[in-house]
Amino acid sequence: MAEPEPEDRKPRSDEARNAPPQGRGESESSTTSEFALPAGLGVAPQAGTESETTSEFAVPEGLEVPHPSAAESEGSAFSVPSTYSAGSAPSAFTPPSGVPAVRLTKEAPWQDRMRTMLRMPVAERPALEPTQKPDETGPAVPRVLDLTLRIGELLLAGGEGAEDVEAAMFAVCRSYGLDRCEPTATFTLLSISYQPSLVDDPVTASRTVRRRGTDYTRLSAVFQLVDDLSDPTTHVSLEEAYRRLALIRRNRHPYPGWVLTAASGLLAGAASVLVGGDVIVFFAAALGAMLGDRLAWLCAGRGLPEFYQFLVAAMPPAAIGVALTVAHVDVRASAVITGGLFALLPGRALVAGVQDGLTGFYITAAARLLEVMYFFVGIVIGVLVVLYFGVKLGAELNPDTALNPTQRPLIQIAASMLLSLTFAILLQQERSTVLWVTLNGGVAWSVFGAMHYPGDISPVASTAVAAGLVGLFGQLLSRYRFASALPYTTAAIGPLLPGSATYFGLLSIAQDNIDKGLVSLARAASLAMAIAIGVNLGSEISRLFLRVPGGPAEGRRAAKRTRGF
């Protein structure tokens, strides 16, 4: 009969009730269960050890489980896990169709390789080895994301396309082992999100682009930094990358202010020669453009928006042209005003906006084109105010003078090269790229003149072909230097800008000929679109058909849509 348990004592467990009585040779009680070894099986317990409790969850003998010598310190939520390796990380999931084989040769420019990666879904991107050698603890994720955003800010503020900005940001992240990252570039906002794995929280950072400036020397330096980060043979630590980025931000412009003012005048004079001006027209257009540039600098120093800067800068060339007409000077006043407009037309922003639209960045494209429209409206208002008072004063301005411009091939080719040269100086380009872009601008005007004048081809088609060659040659010149193509293409399209069509459209509107003015402005818009599409098409042709030495042609996946839905 079992002995009753006192009420004030804790009830014994089932194993304790079923345990046999303690023998004489046993020093301590042992607990048995249905999983215990039968008696006499021949497994002798070790001498000097305590009784063991066995179960189905017991660790088998001989299996050593390493225990940390000291407790690990609590890490940050932003640090990379110690067991995570970006180079060997598996994809988030395998799609039903399988992971496609992607050939990314190291000989290809990093722009092409990163564009290929960006146009693939996250799950289909191949895991590449990190270029930079991280420390034992790995790079701090917030610092890598901050460096990436700062590099993207300089590129976006310098006028680079949204796709190229995202490609550069993606290249920086992958260089430091952050492969699961998604950069996003819009007109004024940059953001990037990184997720170490499916079970970790994503880390997201953003940065706002508030100021924009034109400095292609700085743009080239940023591209060189990204190229060094993406190069597997070059090791750039995070601190070194920050130091180089700080030097890029603090660098001085290669040309002083008086050189930029003189370049603006020479650009306007060269543009006036392209549309049939002579020596007097050259100096008059140059004087008007320099006065407009100084007024724009004065407005910028007072904090006025760029809209009013364009409005004020457009007035002096138009005023000088009207004054020459009122004074009955035997010159082509229309060439003076047209030359002054060439220095103001936002060709760089137009090309970037159309390029963003063609590559699928519609929000950024809409914002850039809206910016171009505001600048254009500012130019229109400035010129229309002057032309209105000129017409009231009796200035005889004839819109039909632009229909038969003088054909002087050699002089016009020289003027187009001078225009491209001064345009490159205004864009603060490196001195090593000025000669190439000058030659590219001469080629562009030669192709346009050969197709339009002797070939009697429409100006829109001739402009598109010439701009396509500009984009193709610009991509060729920048491809093997792993640099941006903007310094080789933006200034070269200067001779093709629709300055004359813009001026004569405004003049017709000032003379109350609204229908004719709108037709001329529509022609100017068509020429501008032809320039932008031609430049983008030339760049795409170079990427599609040109082969990298030592490697196959790169495949560039994009969304397929052959219908309107």
| pLDDT for position 191 | 94
- Is residue 30 scored above 80 in pLDDT? no
More confident residue, 135 or 420: 420
Q: Are 53 and 31 in contact (CB under 8 A)?
A: yes
Interval 136-185: pLDDT, tens: 455 688 899 999 999 999 999 888 888 889 989 998 988 888 878 889 99
| pLDDT for position 403 | 44
| pLDDT for position 359 | 81
Using CA atoms, how far apart are residues 531 and 269, in angstroms rounded to an integer?
Answer: 22
Q: Are 333 and 272 in contact (CB under 8 A)?
A: no
Using CA atoms, how far apart are residues 484 and 109, in angstroms rounded to an integer?
Answer: 11
**What three-state secondary structure class fits 191?**
strand
Gyration radius of the chain's alpha carbons: 35
Which of 226-235, 418-427, 445-454, 502-511 is least confident? 502-511
- Position 344 confidence tier, pLDDT thresholds 50, 70, 90: confident
- The share of the chain scoring above pLDDT 90, in percent, equals 20
More confident residue, 187 or 35: 187
- Is residue 17 scored above 60 in pLDDT? no
- Is residue 36 scored above 90 in pLDDT? no
Helix then strand then coil, in percent of the chain rounded to 5, is 55, 5, 40
Most confident of 49-63, 90-104, 438-452, 506-520: 438-452
- Position 565 confidence tier, pLDDT thresholds 50, 70, 90: very low
As given in the structure block, the two tokens for residue 31 are 């607990």
Using CA atoms, how far apart are residues 408 and 402, in angstroms rounded to an integer?
Answer: 15
| pLDDT for position 394 | 76
More confident residue, 424 or 544: 424
As given in the structure block, the two tokens for residue 160 are 């680079």
- Going by C-beta distance under 8 Å and a sequence separation of 6 or more, which residues neighbour residue 148? 169, 172, 173, 183, 192
More confident residue, 121 or 140: 140
- Position 316 confidence tier, pLDDT thresholds 50, 70, 90: very high
Across 350-369, average pLDDT: 85
Quickly tell me which residue has 């519609």 as its tokens.
362
Across 352-368, average pLDDT: 86
Interval 476-512: pLDDT, tens: 888 766 678 888 888 899 888 887 788 778 778 877 8
- What rounded mean pLDDT belongs to the chain? 77
- The full length of the chain comes to 565
| pLDDT for position 510 | 76
- Going by C-beta distance under 8 Å and a sequence separation of 6 or more, which residues neighbour residue 537? 468, 471
Delimit the domains of the chain by residue range: 110-249, 257-545
Most confident of 19-33, 450-464, 470-484: 450-464
- Going by C-beta distance under 8 Å and a sequence separation of 6 or more, which residues neighbour residue 137? 79, 80, 82
| pLDDT for position 299 | 92
| pLDDT for position 265 | 93
- Is residue 313 scored above 60 in pLDDT? yes
